[in-house]
Amino acid sequence: MIHDGVDTDAVAPDSEAFVQFPKKELRLTRKDEVITYVSRNLEPYRGFHIFMRALPELMKARPKAHFIVVGGNDVSYGSRLPKGTYREKYLAEIEGRYDPSRLHFVGKLPYSTFLRVLQVSTAHIYLTYPFVLSWSMMEAMAAGCLVIGSRTPPVEEVIEDGKNGLLVDFFSADQLINAINRVCEEPDRMQAIRDQARRTITERYDLRKVCLPRQKEIIGNSGLISLAGERLAV
């Protein structure tokens, strides 16, 4: 199987990137402590419940950090709640135990804004059930994020703990907090992991240099492609 590929020319680190919140008179840059979480929709399959339940302790551990949460309130995978959204459910669980001024739900963003969120990220949380890997994790690595991922397939196929990211137990708030503390407190040491994260994507998943040429080679050599389990002539 060959990945569709990541456009690493478009998705790249930018030390000058910033994210502006006009209504809050807030501007965040790489100099700030920014913890990011991204999912198409905020739901358990992508560990949203784990992140939210860890949030009060995360905020205590990082009193200056801002938390940017990207994603919609619908359900992409799994079951819906009888009433309300998962965001409402887990916010209610931690009511009174977190600082709402440092938690920013931004919904679904234009792609250019989404990339800026990744580019200002100090630590990027990616949690998932053993399921299809999110494109956003690959883009986060290409953007030079320090990804803290769950020790679950298929995350482990891409991230090597301590080399191009950090891995934690899906259910462990303590491991997640400790990893974020390490990232925030050892920026120089973590830069090598950020660099290797991007290198992993450029060397193995780059759209134009790796994935597309391999796809063309397969089609050219066989005259057949496999799609959804069917053999189709080209």
> Is it true that the peptide bond before 154 is cis, omega within 30 degrees of 0?
yes
In contact, 65 and 33? CB cutoff 8 Å: yes
CATH number for the domain whose boundaries are 18-206: 3.40.50.2000
Q: For residue 96, give the 3-state DSSP assignment.
A: coil
In contact, 69 and 42? CB cutoff 8 Å: yes
Q: Which residue is listed with tokens 């002539």?
A: 233
Task: List the chain pLDDT tens, one digit each, 234 residues.
Answer: 678 889 999 999 999 999 999 888 999 999 999 999 999 999 999 999 999 999 999 999 999 999 999 999 999 998 999 999 999 999 999 999 999 999 999 999 999 999 999 999 999 999 999 999 999 999 999 999 999 999 999 999 999 999 999 999 999 999 999 999 999 998 888 999 999 999 999 999 998 888 888 888 888 766 554 444 443 333
Give the up-direction half-sphere exposure of residue 50: CA atoms within 13 A in the CB hemisphere.
22
Q: What is the pLDDT of residue 223?
A: 54
Distance set, CA 121 to CA 15, 25, 114 (Å):
11, 19, 11
Q: Which residues are CB-contacts of 134 (< 8 A; sequence separation ≥ 6)? A: 38, 39, 40, 46, 126, 128
